[in-house]
Amino acid sequence: SAALDLLGLMHYMNAMKLITVIETVTAKSDENVTVTDTEFNNVPVRLYLPRKAPDGLRRAMVYFHGGGWCLGDARMKSYDHMSRHVSNELSAVVVSVNYRLAPEHRFPVPFEDVYSVTKFFLQSSVLSQYGVDPARVCVAGDSAGGNLAAAVAQQLLEDPEVKTKLKAQILLYPALQPLDLDLPSYRDNDNKPLLPRSLMVRFWSEYFTSDPSLREAMASNKHVPAESGHLFQFVNWSHLLPAGMRKGHVYAGPTYGSAALARRYPGFLDPRAAPLLASDTQLRRLPPTYILTCEHDVLRDDGVMYVQRLRDAGVTVTHHHAQDAFHGALMFILWPFELAVGHRLFNSYVEWLNENL
């Protein structure tokens, strides 16, 4: 991808997307679940409907895939497998959203797509059409999808047109803030497989622009202007992380960057892109939350800080921290890339869903 980008033959992220294309599978129903590709509010979704006759109204999940807002697809083999498993095991309707991706569609387009689908699905007429209990609907997502799920859950609270309240939000190793990209987890996992720091910085910057000046500023962690310094209270890991995760790292406070850069690309200071920037007043109205974090993951501390902020706000949070796991572990549940840790984390997540949705 880097070579193609350097030669001017293909944008870096478009080259990376080739992996997504290889992994996509067609919508195929089985004896347990009917699977169809359709659209909700003009946004493509893959819809999973249980075949078994329900005892009453069904549960439902709106799911957002990961991939740094630049990659991924609801039709990928692993996402398809997880969605049909959740639909079958929980007798739940699953709406897996194929939101538009950067670099062609930057922030706030991916957020607007997933919000549009969620708002459409939460209409009483639509829930009734699919036999869904309005009191048992959740949003969920992994990585960048976890970011979108957290942002959607927050924004729904501010929307007077939405009457249905979410039962839960499920955030699987979510990316929740681009203000401080020098957290202990970024330092500890700088060059770990699947998501090294350099790639996460690239994902964050591409979400907002291909301007290399933002990427370079983010890489040196000097992109937040002094006038936005008050936002660092929401991502101050010196008190939001437990001592065991701070380890020998010393918090030095922010180094400020260009105000002009933030004016050109204000998205990275927007709570719709950085859910950790939401106020305590807003957080306390959120539904019960499940957060998965992995020790060997640059995004570990984002999730852990959100756990602490939600708990401080009085939200019920189940935090599953996997000491032996890495970013994207849930994708490794199918041959030939099958790992016991992937199955264990997926089973724990589905078990929580079964008990709490």
Q: Would you name the residues annotated as active-site residues?
A: 143, 297, 327
> 351 φ, ψ to 5°?
-60, -40
116 torsion bin: left (phi>0), alpha (psi -120 to 50), beta (else): alpha
Tell me the longest C-alpha to C-alpha distance in the chain.
59
Beta strands in the chain (DSSP E): 33-40, 43-50, 58-64, 92-97, 132-142, 168-172, 289-296, 317-326, 333-334, 337-338
Identify which of 64, 72, 68 has the alpha carbon closest to the alpha carbon of residue 22: 72
Check if the beta carbon of residue 58 is closer than 8 Å to that of residue 133.
yes
CA-CA distance, 37 to 1, in Å (whole number)? 29
Check: CB of residue 144 under 8 Å from CB of residue 333. no
Tokens of 223: 């992109």
In sign, the C-alpha dihedral spanning 154, 175, 187, 232 is negative
Please give the torsion angle defined by the CA atoms of residues 271, 274, 275 and 281, in that order, rounded to the nearest 10 degrees: -50
Tell me the sheet residues that pair with 63: 96, 140
DSSP states of 250-269: -------B-HHHHHH-GGGG
Query: Which of 166, 104, 98 lies closest to 137 in space, CA to CA?
Result: 166
Structure tokens at 341: 């840790």
